[in-house]
Structure 1
Amino acid sequence: MRSDIITASCHDIDQEFPALVLAAGASRRFGRPKALLSLSERPEKTGQGRTLLDCAIGQGRLLSTDVRVVCGAWYPLVRFRCRAQPSRWVPVADWELGMAASLAAGIRSLGPSVKGVFVLVADQPLLDRQALKAFGDAARCFPRQPAAADYGRHPGVPAYLPRWLWPEVLTLEGDRGAGRILALANATRLDIPGVRDDIDTPEDWQRIRKAISQTSQQARQFPG
């Protein structure tokens, strides 16, 4: 086992289709670690609330039992503040180099039996759960076909990267994801509501937290 990979749980691991949650950035535009933002309406009343990263780990579990968090700038703080624990924490020593370094670290943490990997980010809390699960099911049915969320002009995260595409992903540099590679590979694009609701600024967070609050109120009024 590589020394820079920290195992939190080693049972019930999905060996063929793991999920990576990319959460290594410094959140410079936001001004503090986005991964630790509380989703609770009144965390001062309930103690440390469920965080954005907790939410992202839950999203990953809709795709795989093996969910790995790729971390960097705020590690190990994020580990200790998370309620949900992933299968593995994968620290990135060169996280300052951007998303490409995070993707590379995550992929290099995977074993030889893996057929493909799901990739998510930690700041899309409004992803539709049913659409996300359907995305995972579709990727497993066609494990050699790249797939990604449809952003209109380009594919993006959440994404599924089959193993044959990894060598190209490992050539990426800087703060670039695999969107261009997915486009050139004719990735299947799926509609996943909520993909455009990511959090870059405090204003984004206020808008999205309001939407989360409204959804929670509706769930309490009309329980399933």
Structure 2
Amino acid sequence: MVGRSDARGPRRDEAARDPTRASAGGGAPPGARGDVVQLSRTPGPSPAAVAGLVLAAGAGRRYGRPKALVRHRGSLLVERAVRTLVEAGCGPALVVLGAAADRVRADADLSAARVVGNPRWATGMGSSLRVGLRALAGTEAVAVVVLLVDMPGVSAEAVRRVAADATPACLATAGYGPGRRGHPVLLGREHWAGVCASAVGDSGAGGYLRQRLARVRIVPCADVADDADLDVPPAEAAAPDADGRPGRG
């Protein structure tokens, strides 16, 4: 997630996994997007409410199919992500779908979550983040935990740690060793509008967090979670590279 690169430099997927790394993807300037919203509603009387948000709209081109539909250890990745957030106590739990949304709705048990669609999913993860935050604007959540669909090693305990002591002003990310930050990410409600305005391409909340590193709480999670994503199918990941080295697992 954070600090991973090969001889060719960081890949686009790696930039997406690290919430504070600059994205290699492009995108229209914030002022040119019609879906940037104002999130000004004041939370209601439930100050401890922390929502959960799963970003599951991508096509999974390198994997060969949308990762929401990938089965891993008996369940679909999107089901596992929702279950992780619910077991951690997040509520409401919300899933953003895009590619193959109808099939995901048909095949996955998402009864524990609210499902919203992102018609602009092909523009990158940033658009899905904006859709999710907009959908949560009408809730009483003081903060939201953001989780990517392709990280089955992120545990409910990691989510609980990151979400602990959430406030409307908080910012936090999981830590996986020196200099390695990643998901889950906690965004206090006061930051949602700013994140929406800065989320471009596949950067998600990365640009916003990089500008506020001194305020971001790093929560050690390496002992309870694995931040590796399922970037390619297992057989391809195990195959050796051209130089004979094993592929990424």
Distance 1:155 1:204 in 2: 28
User: Which AA in structure 2 matches 1:188?
Assistant: R
Deviation at 1:18, TM superposition (A): 1.1
* Structure 1 segments (4+ residues) deviating >4 Å: 204-207
Determine if contact 2:158/2:184 at 8 Å carries over to the other structure. Answer: no
Corresponding pairs, count: 185
Match of 1:145 in 2: 170
Change (3 A) 1:182 1:154: farther
More helix by percentage: 1
Match of 2:228 in 1: 197
Matches within 5 A, 1:11-50: 16-40=49-73, 49-50=74-75
Matches within 5 A, 1:176-195: 176-185=203-212, 186-193=215-222, 194-195=225-226
Residue 131 in structure 1 maps to residue 158 in structure 2: yes
Match of 1:175 in 2: 202
Deviation at 1:112, TM superposition (A): 5.5
SS at match of 1:109: helix
SS at match of 2:187: strand
Deviation at 1:76, TM superposition (A): 1.4
Distance 1:19 1:25 in 2: 18
Determine if contact 2:158/2:174 at 8 Å carries over to the other structure. Answer: no
Deviation at 1:182, TM superposition (A): 2.0
User: Which AA in structure 2 matches 1:199?
Assistant: L
Taking CA–CA contacts closer than 8 Å with sequence separation of 6 or more, which of the two structures ends up with the larger relative contact order?
2
Match of 2:104 in 1: 78
Match of 1:89 in 2: 115
Change (3 A) 1:161 1:26: same
> RMSD across aligned C-alpha pairs, in angstroms?
2.5
User: Which AA in structure 2 matches 1:170?
Assistant: C
Residue 160 in structure 1 maps to residue 186 in structure 2: yes
User: Which AA in structure 1 matches 2:85?
Assistant: G
Change (3 A) 1:82 1:139: farther
CA deviation digits over 1:18-57, x for unaligned, max 9?
Answer: 11100000001111122222234xxxxxxxx421111100
**Which TM-score applies when normalising by structure 2?**
0.67
Change (3 A) 1:155 1:53: same
CA deviation digits over 1:72-129, x for unaligned, max 9?
Answer: 0120111111134243111001111101100000000011533211111111111233
Deviation at 1:14, TM superposition (A): 10
Identity score, percent: 33
Deviation at 1:15, TM superposition (A): 8.9
CA deviation digits over 1:180-221, x for unaligned, max 9?
Answer: 3223322101122334311111148867xxxxxxxxxxxxxx
Determine if contact 1:15/1:113 at 8 Å carries over to the other structure. Answer: no
